[in-house]
């Protein structure tokens, strides 16, 4: 309401007037006309503004939950072991492909680098190389340099020993350093990576910087690949990082096994190194309990936003909100629907030990967890690891985390290149294209999905597409944050409503001012008339009676 007339003014009017407090009367009349509708509109606007704030809180909660869920890697679910870590160590390179294993490695000979010694440099700064260039390759490929249009040619005209060494050391796949042998005597040492080769060719065939090693001041030791025995099978590789023997694991060969004392054979002793990977019950339980904690945190946010105060006036910002009810239903559906694509049998959240309590929260069920870990430990892969694989080990399957290909089991028929999904009973015809000797099978209806085979007729086999609990939850929270999603559309609707209600309140307040001005003018004129009358009470009575009859 607007400011009332001062007491001095009231006293002045009422000295000889009606004796009524005109501002109070005007306020009462205006409030009776304006307050009910203004209260309704104000309450509506407060509710809409609260819903906008609640929707923002809901989106923020989804972001926090998604961030936490994405940090559940499952990388610690396996314990990698080697009985001789000075000879062989293990590194995980793809958790999604990793399973338990135990293997034995013997007769380790590590890959060695190619080494070139260039001797008899007398000074690091004044001893210069007088040739104009060097032609250099690493593993048969010219280095990233060019001079006079010749690829792999490096400009080194009159470089000092230090400058030349620095240029060689900067080449990818090579290392170079100057070693002080004695006073005024240095040797340049150029090395490749283990198992790799290089060539350095000088314009002068007799120059000491030729890797042919024919110069008197130069000697070259050839590189060699690695070799070892893996579960009784002789293995050779080009380097010391073996990535293609065990899925998801890099075997790092660190040192040779000790040689026996027979100089005529110089064979490595049969020293066995056992390498293993085993699931860790405690680490997997930590992952499950972290997941439960985040699920409860998100659910708690939903409950707070949708809280209905039956005895007071402290409702949540989204109490009785249709969108919040939809989110709750979608979240419940996500938690109860099976996880498919990890074999012929579906997996459920409860098998991880995630149980729903009477109050709707999630609790850890140790008994169920232990039973699954004991009987079907591979099911815990579905916690954090997506799967896309084939029953044929010669077929590679690729699917992004957002690929539209249905989850679960698919059957591929070589006749007609038909892919059948058992869950939806859908049939798709795939097209084949060849690239680098491999055949890629795709369909435009499943963007983000393909499988690769060795030939255009790979035969019949099954394909499994699985999305882990982590990915499904992450996608759920990501959908809640999409600018083009239903969340933002509803927020825009609420903001439009808030703007409309603000405009309506502005009109009501304008009407309030007009009414107050009109009634103040009318009562002021009445007071003037009454002041001139000797019987103000009779006058007012007659005036009110006239109003009542009108």
- Prediction pTM value: 0.72
Q: For residues 404 and 417, is the Cβ–Cβ distance under 8 A?
A: no
Residue that is last in its domain, among 240, 271, 302: 271
Residue 236: predicted pLDDT = 96
Q: For residues 177 and 189, is the Cβ–Cβ distance under 8 A?
A: yes
C-alpha span between 195 and 225 (Å, rounded): 5
Given the structure tokens 């001079």, which residue do they identify? 147
C-alpha span between 546 and 550 (Å, rounded): 6
Four-residue CA torsion sign, 480, 486, 491, 494: negative
> How far are the Cα atoms of 454, 520, 545 from residue 532, in angstroms, in the given order?
113, 19, 20
188 with 261, same domain?
A: no
How many distinct structural domains can be found in the chain? 4
402 with 425, same domain?
A: yes
C-alpha span between 263 and 282 (Å, rounded): 50
* Paired tokens of 527: 């007071």
259 with 241, same domain?
A: yes
Identify the DSSP state of 348. -
- The answer to the question of residue 71 being in a domain is no
Phi, psi (rounded to 5 degrees) for 509: -65, -35
With a CB cutoff of 8 Å and minimum separation 6, the contacts of 442 are: 430, 431, 433, 449, 450
C-alpha span between 74 and 146 (Å, rounded): 47
97 with 235, same domain?
A: yes
Residue 18: predicted pLDDT = 58
- The answer to the question of residue 265 being in a domain is yes
56 with 186, same domain?
A: no
* Paired tokens of 346: 């579906």
Residue 214: predicted pLDDT = 74
- The answer to the question of residue 358 being in a domain is no
Nearest to 410 by CA among 399, 401, 302: 399
Identify the DSSP state of 224. B
Q: At what angle do helices 469-479 and 322-336 cross, to 10 degrees?
A: 170
- The answer to the question of residue 423 being in a domain is yes
- The answer to the question of residue 28 being in a domain is yes
Q: For residues 354 and 385, is the Cβ–Cβ distance under 8 A?
A: no
Residue 483: predicted pLDDT = 56
Residue 13: predicted pLDDT = 42
- The answer to the question of residue 347 being in a domain is no
C-alpha span between 386 and 342 (Å, rounded): 9
216 with 122, same domain?
A: yes
- The answer to the question of residue 293 being in a domain is no
31 with 160, same domain?
A: no
Q: Going along 183-316, which residue ranges are E strands?
A: 185-192, 198-201, 218-221, 226-230, 233-237, 241-242, 249-253, 273-279
3-class DSSP state for residue 429? strand
Phi, psi (rounded to 5 degrees) for 406: -60, 145
With a CB cutoff of 8 Å and minimum separation 6, the contacts of 142 are: 135, 136, 151, 152
211 with 120, same domain?
A: yes
Residue 277: predicted pLDDT = 96
210 with 128, same domain?
A: yes
126 with 188, same domain?
A: yes
With a CB cutoff of 8 Å and minimum separation 6, the contacts of 108 are: 87, 88, 226, 227, 228, 253, 255, 256, 257, 268, 271, 273
Given the structure tokens 């007491």, which residue do they identify? 7
119 with 217, same domain?
A: yes
10-residue block means of pLDDT along the chain (550 residues)?
Answer: 43 51 79 78 70 73 87 92 95 92 94 94 88 92 90 89 94 95 94 95 83 82 94 95 95 83 56 93 95 92 81 76 86 93 94 94 96 95 94 93 91 94 88 92 94 94 95 89 65 70 78 82 74 56 64
C-alpha span between 417 and 431 (Å, rounded): 7
32 with 97, same domain?
A: no
- The answer to the question of residue 351 being in a domain is no
With a CB cutoff of 8 Å and minimum separation 6, the contacts of 249 are: 80, 90, 91, 92, 93, 98, 101, 243, 277
C-alpha span between 114 and 8 (Å, rounded): 107
Domain enclosing residue 144, as ranges: 115-221
Edge to edge, the sheet with strand 273-279 lists 78-82, 273-279, 101-109, 226-230, 233-237
* Paired tokens of 196: 């790799």
CA atoms within 13 A on the CB side of 382: 26
């Amino acid at each position: 309401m607007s400011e009332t007339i001062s007491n001095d003014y009231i006293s002045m009017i009422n000295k000889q007037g009606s004796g009524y407090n005109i501002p109070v009367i005007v306020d009462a009349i205006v409030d009776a006309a304006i307050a009910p509708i203004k209260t309704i509109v104000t309450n509506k606007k407060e509710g809409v503004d609260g819903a906008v704030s609640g929707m923002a809180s809901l989106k923020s909660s989804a972001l926090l939950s998604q961030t936490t869920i994405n940090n559940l890697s499952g990388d610690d679910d396996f314990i990698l072991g080697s009985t001789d870590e000075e000879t062989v160590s293990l590194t995980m390179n793809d958790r999604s492909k990793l399973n338990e294993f135990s293997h034995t490695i013997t007769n380790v000979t590590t890959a060695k680098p190619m080494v070139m010694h260039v001797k008899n440099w007398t000074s690091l700064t004044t001893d210069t190389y007088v040739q104009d260039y060097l032609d250099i390759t690493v593993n048969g490929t010219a280095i990233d340099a060019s001079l006079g249009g010749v690829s792999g040619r490096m400009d080194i005209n009159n470089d000092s020993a230090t400058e030349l060494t620095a240029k060689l050391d900067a080449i990818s796949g090579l290392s170079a350093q100057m070693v002080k042998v004695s006073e005024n005597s240095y040797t340049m040492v150029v090395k490749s990576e283990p198992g790799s080769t290089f060539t350095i060719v000088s314009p002068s065939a007799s120059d000491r910087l030729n890797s042919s090693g024919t110069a008197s001041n130069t000697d070259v030791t050839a590189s060699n690949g690695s070799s070892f025995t893996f579960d009784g099978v002789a293995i050779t590789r080009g380097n010391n990082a073996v990535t293609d023997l065990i899925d998801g694991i890099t075997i790092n060969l660190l040192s040779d096994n000790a040689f026996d004392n027979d100089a005529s054979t110089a064979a490595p002793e049969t020293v066995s190194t056992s390498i293993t990977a085993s699931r860790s019950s405690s680490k997997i339980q930590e992952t499950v309990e972290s997941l439960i904690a985040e699920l409860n945190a998100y659910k708690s946010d939903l409950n707070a936003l949708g809280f209905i105060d039956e005895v007071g006036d402290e409702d949540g910002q989204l109490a009785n909100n249709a969108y919040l009810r939809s989110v709750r239903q979608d979240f419940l559906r996500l938690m109860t629907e099976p996880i498919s694509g990890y074999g012929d049998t579906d997996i459920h959240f409860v098998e991880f030990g995630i149980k729903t309590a009477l109050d709707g929260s999630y609790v850890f069920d140790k008994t169920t967890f232990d039973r699954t870990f004991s009987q079907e430990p591979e099911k815990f892969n579905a916690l954090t690891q997506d799967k896309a694989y084939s029953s044929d080990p010669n077929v590679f399957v690729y699917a992004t985390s957002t690929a539209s290909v249905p989850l679960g089991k698919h059957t591929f028929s070589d006749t007609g290149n038909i892919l059948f999904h058992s869950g939806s009973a859908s049939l798709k015809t795939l097209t084949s294209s060849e690239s680098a000797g491999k055949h890629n099978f795709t369909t435009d209806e499943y963007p983000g999905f393909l499988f690769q085979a060795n030939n255009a007729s790979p035969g019949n086999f099954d394909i499994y597409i699985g999305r882990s609990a982590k990915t499904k939850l992450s996608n759920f929270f990501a959908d809640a944050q999409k600018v083009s999603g239903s969340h933002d559309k509803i927020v825009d609707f609420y903001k439009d409503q808030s703007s409309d209600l603000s405009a309506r309140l502005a009109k009501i307040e304008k009407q309030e001012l007009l009414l107050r001005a009109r009634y103040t003018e009318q009562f002021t004129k009445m007071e003037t008339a009454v002041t001139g009358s000797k019987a103000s009470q009779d006058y007012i009575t007659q005036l009110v009676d006239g109003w009542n009859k009108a």
